[in-house]
Amino acid sequence: MIRSLRGRLFVGMTAIILLTGATGGVFAYRWAFGEAIEMQDSILIQLASLAQAGSFKGGQPLQGVEEDTEVWLIELGETSRGSSDDRQLFRLRDGLQLATWNNQTIRVLLRTRSDGSRFAVAQPTAVRDETARDVAFRTLLPIAALIPCLMLVTALVIAHSLRSMVRLAGELDARRADDMTALPRSHMPSELHPFINSINRLLRRTGLLMDQQRRFVADAAHELRTPITALSLQAENLDSVELPKPARERAAALKQGMHRTKHLLEQLLALARHEAGQSEPPEMPVAALDCVAKDVVADLLPEATERSIDLGFALVDPVMVRSEPGMLAAIIRNLLENALRFTPPGGTIDIGIYREGGMAILQVEDGGPGIASTDMDQIFEPFFRGSCPEGEGTGLGLSIVKRIVDSLSGKIALENMVGIDRSGLRATVRLPIARDPESLPGKGSGENQAPQLSG
Ligand SMILES: Nc1ncnc2c1ncn2[C@@H]1O[C@H](COP(=O)(O)OP(=O)(O)O)[C@@H](O)[C@H]1O
Ligand SMILES: [Mg+2]
């Protein structure tokens, strides 16, 4: 059983072509064979008429008749005599018929001249049949040549007709998981319209479901924020109370737990807020990527110093991108927090901000272990924390980064650096440049070519 539609169509069409070719071939062969025999009969008749008019006599080569056609003129005289074969011929009536002569089957035409003498024009049936077969066989050649051509054309037509289906599948495969825009029906064969309609209906339903889910997460996070904040405050209030040592230790653990929960809620809210804003993107302001980055670094510097990590800019160019500064800060903060968490004490974190090919590039290189290649596929999924998660976290950071970058029409790539002098994770974010400050009057110009921050 052939599963592919293309295969089935091709096999079916090939069978039809072969059947038509075979039937047509048989009929053409038989028709041509019959025609060739009739043609040879008419030649015999013409020769007989010439012989009757006395144009030539038996015993001499027939003028204008090829030798290998083996047409003989047999003079039978006025009475039955000569060999037994001749006598037998003489006994036949005038006209065309089959006879045996010299141990061969022949096609013979007998005529009687006005002087009473009789003659026969004869040709062996074996020769006639061979000629007829030859002629008939030639009619088969064009049919035989046509069959492979037809099969080729069929294969091309099938491939062409199914191309739009293949293209549709490719488009669906290449889609982002959260892309719920309807598939276009124009330029698609009408047979595919029901499928496209069904897929579009499904996309609409899934989109609604996703919206509901987002709203639920946003509402839940929002509703939880107030009580958690209140609980945090209560926990912090414990600081001002004189407590025995074991109680103080437990209160510290409680406070840390509250802090973690607050962080998770904030991340969830950021995600939900961001997704809610995606349906109608507002006109984004222009923000200086370098300035935002400097602010975030300043914020994280105490933590880095505490762990003796060298956190700093390897390269920083003024670059403007179209974005809410808060969104840029969220990107940089999440990447730097990860880098800080995974870089061991004494390690280095290099930040680079520069322009390349019309894009603003933000690069963070850390001194950590990098991400296992098996985790790379899922690393941007919410709540995914890799096969060996470290420290506290929610697994939401990179998915928030990815969504923000996507919404800014940017790209993010994570790669493990492998080098003798350096290993770690390199995160590269590319965002479209909003305005080129270097092109403003009074400033120099120049574009940095993908610098290696390390090395
Ligand atoms: N710089 C890094 N080095 C090594 N692993 C990383 C790095 N950044 C992220 N990861 C891996 O990706 C996972 C997901 O990161 P993220 O989405 O920020 O969540 P979280 O930081 O809350 O764990 C992390 O748990 C970690 O396993
Ligand atoms: Mg993180």
Give the pLDDT of residue 430.
Answer: 96
Indicate whether 110 pLDDT > 50.
yes
Could you read off the pLDDT of 317-367 as tens digits, one per residue?
999 999 888 889 989 999 999 999 999 999 999 999 999 998 999 999 999
Give the pLDDT of residue 445.
Answer: 42
pTM higher than the cut 0.75: no
Query: Which ligand 1 atom is at minimum distance from the Cα of 395?
Result: 19
If you measure from the C-alpha of residue 417 to the centroid of ligand 1, how many angstroms do you get, rounded to a whole number?
16
- Return residue ranges of the chain for CATH 1.10.287.130: 190-276
Q: Mean of the pLDDT values across residues 134-153?
A: 93
Give the pLDDT of residue 157.
Answer: 93
Q: What is the CATH number of domain 190-276?
A: 1.10.287.130
- Name the CA radius of gyration of the chain, rounded: 48
Percentage of the chain lying above the pLDDT 70 cut: 91
Give the pLDDT of residue 33.
Answer: 96
Q: Cβ(339) to ligand 1 under 6 A?
A: yes
Q: Cβ(365) to ligand 1 under 6 A?
A: no
If you measure from the C-alpha of residue 385 to the centroid of ligand 2, how many angstroms do you get, rounded to a whole number?
9
Q: What's the whole-number average pLDDT of the chain?
A: 86
For atom 7 of ligand 1, the residue with the nearest CA is 338
Q: Cβ(267) to ligand 1 under 6 A?
A: no
Indicate whether 441 pLDDT > 50.
no
Which range (94-108, 222-236, 320-334, 436-450) has the least confidence?
436-450
Q: Cβ(72) to ligand 1 under 6 A?
A: no
Residues in contact with 431: Cβ distance below 8 Å, sequence separation at least 6, in sequence order: 289, 321, 323, 359, 360, 362, 405, 408, 409, 410
Could you read off the pLDDT of 270-315 as tens digits, one per residue?
777 776 665 445 567 899 999 999 999 999 999 999 999 999 999 9
Give the pLDDT of residue 450.
Answer: 52
Which range (136-140, 217-221, 315-319) has the least confidence?
217-221
If you measure from the C-alpha of residue 393 to the centroid of ligand 2, how many angstroms do you get, rounded to a whole number?
6
Give the pLDDT of residue 276.
Answer: 63
Most informative mutation of 385, 399, 405 for ligand 1 (most atoms within 8 A of CB): 385
Give the ligand whose atoms come closest to the C-alpha of residue 379.
1
Question: What is the rounded distance in angstroms from the CA atom of residue 434 to the CA atom of residue 409?
Answer: 12
- The most confident of the ranges 56-70, 366-380, 391-405 is 366-380
Q: How far apart are the first and last CA of the chain?
A: 60
Q: Cβ(408) to ligand 1 under 6 A?
A: no
For atom 6 of ligand 1, the residue with the nearest CA is 371
Query: What pLDDT band is residue 116 in, cutting at 50, 70 and 90?
Result: confident
Q: Cβ(425) to ligand 1 under 6 A?
A: yes
Q: Cβ(343) to ligand 1 under 6 A?
A: no
Could you read off the pLDDT of 51-100 as tens digits, one per residue?
888 777 666 556 566 667 788 888 888 877 778 888 888 888 999 999 98
Query: Which ligand 1 atom is at minimum distance from the Cα of 398?
Result: 17
Indicate whether 451 pLDDT > 70.
no
Q: Mean of the pLDDT values across residues 208-235?
A: 86
Give the pLDDT of residue 144.
Answer: 92
Which CATH number fits the domain 286-439, given the four candidates 3.90.1150.10, 1.10.1040.10, 3.30.565.10, 3.40.47.10?
Answer: 3.30.565.10
Query: Which ligand 1 atom is at minimum distance from the Cα of 399?
Result: 17
Q: Cβ(124) to ligand 1 under 6 A?
A: no
Give the pLDDT of residue 387.
Answer: 83
Q: Mean of the pLDDT values across residues 427-447?
A: 65
For atom 3 of ligand 1, the residue with the nearest CA is 370
Give the pLDDT of residue 347.
Answer: 94
Given a contact cutoff of 8 angstroms between Cβ atoms, the answer to whether 412 and 427 are in contact is yes
Q: Cβ(380) to ligand 1 under 6 A?
A: no
- Return residue ranges of the chain for CATH 3.30.565.10: 286-439
Give the pLDDT of residue 444.
Answer: 40
For atom 13 of ligand 1, the residue with the nearest CA is 385
Query: Which ligand 1 atom is at minimum distance from the Cα of 424?
Result: 3
Query: What pLDDT band is residue 440 in, cutting at 50, 70 and 90?
Result: very low
Question: What is the rounded distance in angstroms from the CA atom of residue 168 to the CA atom of residue 185?
Answer: 10
Question: What is the rounded distance in angstroms from the CA atom of residue 215 to the CA atom of residue 396?
Answer: 17
Most informative mutation of 261, 398, 405, 412 for ligand 1 (most atoms within 8 A of CB): 398
Question: What is the rounded distance in angstroms from the CA atom of residue 94 to the CA atom of residue 110?
Answer: 5
Q: Mean of the pLDDT values across residues 153-170?
A: 90
Please give the DSSP secondary-structure letter assigned to residue 1. -
Question: What is the rounded distance in angstroms from the CA atom of residue 316 to the CA atom of residue 387?
Answer: 34
Give the ligand whose atoms come closest to the C-alpha of residue 382.
1
Query: What pLDDT band is residue 1 in, cutting at 50, 70 and 90?
Result: confident
